[in-house]
Structure 1
Amino acid sequence: MSDAPVTLSQVAREAGVSLATASRAINGSATRSVRADLRERVLETARRLDYSPDPSAQAMARGRTSALGLVVHDIADPYFSTIAAGVARAAEREGLIVTLSSTEHSPERELAFVELARRQRSRAIILAGGRLGPDSGPDSGPAPGPLEAALSAFQAAGGRVALIGQPIGGLPVVEIANADGAADLARALHGLGYRRFAVLAGPAGHRTAADRTTGFTGALAELGAPVAPDDVLTCPFTRDGGYSAMRDLIERSGGAPDSLPELVFAVNDVMAVGAMAAVRDTGRNVPGDVAVAGFDDIHTLRDVSPGLTTVRIPLAEIGELATDLALGRSGQAGTPVHGEVVLRDSTPRRAG
């Protein structure tokens, strides 16, 4: 008995159909269907002969593979890994395989992954996270930036697209109400008696960071507790960025407790954890010397001590929504997802 793999021609011959009919029955077709009785005969013959379809042939026949591409900035960041879990859960329900790419915050890598998904004829692609540059909003100028152009070309070739976090041109997006959530947090903290604030604002030009910063500072200004411009510190959108910015803030105070802000808001949770570490490493404590709040409510950070006050965003559910949107199964586009303020021990009520 030959060890050579069974070919599609052998299946067609054994089933008594043409090669084209066998191909359409097994691989599918973007334009033509096969009669039900013929399709069942071909499939039964393929099972009996232990025929293995060629994935590339299936993609060519159907026009798309069963792959869904997910592009994130940093898979080690719990924000993105939680979104990825939601995407994977929704993709599994649809019989799709998720291919995950991490850009390490490189716009060039992000663009390269989109081009790769187009060449590989992925069924859909999801981009998660904020970004810098001309593609960072719905009004990016008269000519689209390179990322918007690449995503539009992917759509034009038959693929589907969804974004998480912020819009790019008119592409479908599951947007997060970052400014509203930060404003709600500011009002809640003001209600606890805090009046002197600082903000670890992430990188300059990063839209998610900017929305959270302006939402927070704008609400405080309306409450009569404006944040001084010097107390809004730019830094990387990472744990180490939060650590360094907090160290700078402490060193600038000269060690005098009264010169520190009462509360420091970091525009994401991982930055807040870095800030809390910097407070400890300089011989101080949270919340005794300075209170700290974050944004996102990353589930892997819920056991930090003291518990971190934050804005809870349903990240896994957002991943599922984006997958449904990418596959044309959802009407969520244009409806921002709102967060919920969660008060914990890192921001106790101030006496008096």
Structure 2
Amino acid sequence: MTQRRARLIDVADAAGVSIAAASRAMSGSTGVSDAIAARVRRVAGEMGYVANVHARTLAGGASTTIGLLVHEIGDPYFTEIAGGVLRLGAQQGLTVQIGHTGRDPDAELTQVRALVANRVRAIVIAGSGFVDAAVQAPVKAELQAFQAGGGRVAVIGRHHLGADAVLPDNHAGGRSLAEHLLALGHRRIAFAVGSRALTTVADRLAGIAEALASAGLDLDDLPVVEEEFTRAGGRRATHAILDAHPDVTAIAALNDDMAIGVLAALRARGVSVPGEVSVSGFDDVPVAEYLWPALTTVRLPMAEMGEQVLELALKPASSRPRRRLTGHSLVVRDSTAAPRG
């Protein structure tokens, strides 16, 4: 059963002040000392209290701000998605407030509460959900309360939030990527991946495992190195792979940011690509075709996904969450080739 949302009177009682004093402290009005105001705000934060102001704002038609939460503000994947949200937002006369969560559920909860407090019209979450539904349960409760008060929510990726969603073609994309490497003749394949707690990673690996099984291989028998879903994570994963498995002929990174790190690590160790090791990524960020060698990857329509998720967020609520599938395409470039010998 969902825990009851903290009310202003609950905060006032816990802080030992009147509800009027608590209201003035939370709004920043005069009439309370700095010490009391600080105590009330501290107690409110501990109780997860957020002033229910968005419904009043929405009722007056005054809100023109959308909240967008991304996992990594520096990842080109999220840059492209944000670009789509910003483009459609501008066409609709909306401003977009962007927050960064670092794939941390606690940071995500904090950011959601801040967006609610800032009276946004809708909240868009771009990025993977978590395999364990319990991880996002606190965020789900906040978003349900936000929607009950008139706000709207839409997400990109597979989440357990009960919201409208744009679903990247992660499973089928993973299968296509593995089928490409297998068709080239690779059997000693290693994988540089983000945390398996993320649904994006789980779904992409599931597609890869499906393709491997069709070729008589088992993903559990191949190197799978979990690291941060970043360029630095890709570098660390590559060094770990080559140290333990120097005979690999291909490294598949489960996003392009990691793949860039893989290429950098191989270059630092004097390993030629694709002569000695083929490298592939996932997402097809704009820089992928300008790398050396140009990166083979799975293309997702990232900017379009940003537009689609905002379109969903601007629609009236429906009785059941809406779903939009993206599709994918495999883009073969110079970073993959048949293994030597």
- What TM-score bracket applies, with the shorter chain setting the length? 0.7 to 0.9
2:159–2:199 contact (8 Å) kept in structure 1: no
Matched residue SS, 2:216: coil
Q: Tell me, what secondary structure is at the counterpart of 1:145?
A: helix
Answer whether contact 1:176 1:336 (CA < 8 A) is retained: yes
C-alpha contact 2:275 2:339 (8 A) present in aligned 1: no
Pick aligned residue for 1:78 from 76, 79, 91: 76
- Percent identity over paired residues: 39
Aligned partner of 2:93 in structure 1 is 95
Secondary structure of 2:284's counterpart equals: coil
Question: Partner of 2:326 in structure 1?
Answer: 337
Equivalent residue, structure 2, for 1:327: 314
User: 1:324–1:330: 8 Å Cα contact kept in structure 2?
Assistant: no
Partner of 2:163: 171
Aligned partners of 1:64 and 1:122 also within 8 Å: no
Deviations 1:247-285 (Å, cap 9, x if unpaired)? 0111123xxxxx422211110011111111111111211
2:270 to 283, 290, 293: 283
The yes-or-no answer on 1:193 pairing with 2:185 is yes
- Where does structure 1 lack aligned partners over 5 or more consecutive residues? 1-55, 254-258
Superposed displacement of residue 349, structure 1: 3.8
- C-alpha contact (below 8 Å) 1:238/1:270 kept by paired residues: yes
3-state SS in 2 of match to 1:240: helix
| Counterpart residue number, 2:115 | 117
Q: CA deviation at 1:74?
A: 1.4
Tell me the SS of whatever aligns to 2:159: coil
CA distance in 1, matches of 2:255, 2:190: 14
Runs of 4+ in 1 over 4 A off after TM superposition: 329-332
Structure 2: stretches of 5+ with no match in the other structure: 1-53
Q: Residues 236, 295 of structure 1: CA spacing in aligned structure 2 closer, same or farther, 3 A cutoff?
A: same
Equivalent pair of 2:174/2:208 in contact (CA under 8 Å): yes
Deviations 1:96-119 (Å, cap 9, x if unpaired)?
A: 111111122332221122112222
Greater C-alpha Rg: 1
What do you get for the CA RMSD once the two structures are aligned? 2.4
CA distance in 1, matches of 2:229, 2:305: 20
Residue 296 of structure 2 corresponds to which residue in structure 1? Answer: 309
* Equivalent residues of 1:193, 1:351 under 8 A apart: no
Question: How far apart, CA to CA, are the structure 2 residues paired with 1:107 and 1:228?
Answer: 28
The Cα of 1:242 is off from its aligned counterpart by 1.0
From 173, 180, 198, give the equivalent of 1:181: 173
Shift of 1:93: 1.4
Task: Give the distance between the partners of 1:274 and 1:303, measured in 2 at CA.
Answer: 15
**1:122 corresponds to which letter in structure 2?**
V
Please tell me the residue identity of whatever aligns with 2:82: A
Change (3 A) 1:350 1:60: closer
Which residue in 1 is equivalent to 2:25? none
- Give the secondary structure class of the aligned counterpart of 1:101: strand
Paired residues of 1:175 and 1:336 also in contact (CA < 8 A):
yes
**How far apart, in 1, do the equivalents of 2:186 and 2:244 lie?**
21
Alignment deviations for residues 107-155 of structure 1 (CA, whole Å, 9 cap, x no partner):
22211221122222211110011143644xxxx59xx710111111111
Size of the aligned set, in residue pairs, is 285
Q: Tell me the alpha carbon deviations over residues 166-214 of structure 1, each in whole angstroms, 9 at most, x when there is no partner.
A: 2323211111120111101111222222222111121131211121112
For 2:58 and 2:217, the matched residues in 1 are separated by 61
1:347 aligns with 2:339: no
Note the C-alpha offset of 1:342: 0.6
Query: Which of 145, 148, 162 in structure 2 is aligned with 1:153?
Result: 145
Check if 1:295 corresponds to 2:302.
Answer: no
CA distance in 2, matches of 1:112, 1:76: 20
| Aligned-partner SS, 1:323 | helix
Normalising by structure 2, report the TM-score: 0.78
Give the Å deviation of 1:228. Answer: 4.4
CA distance in 1, matches of 2:336, 2:316: 41
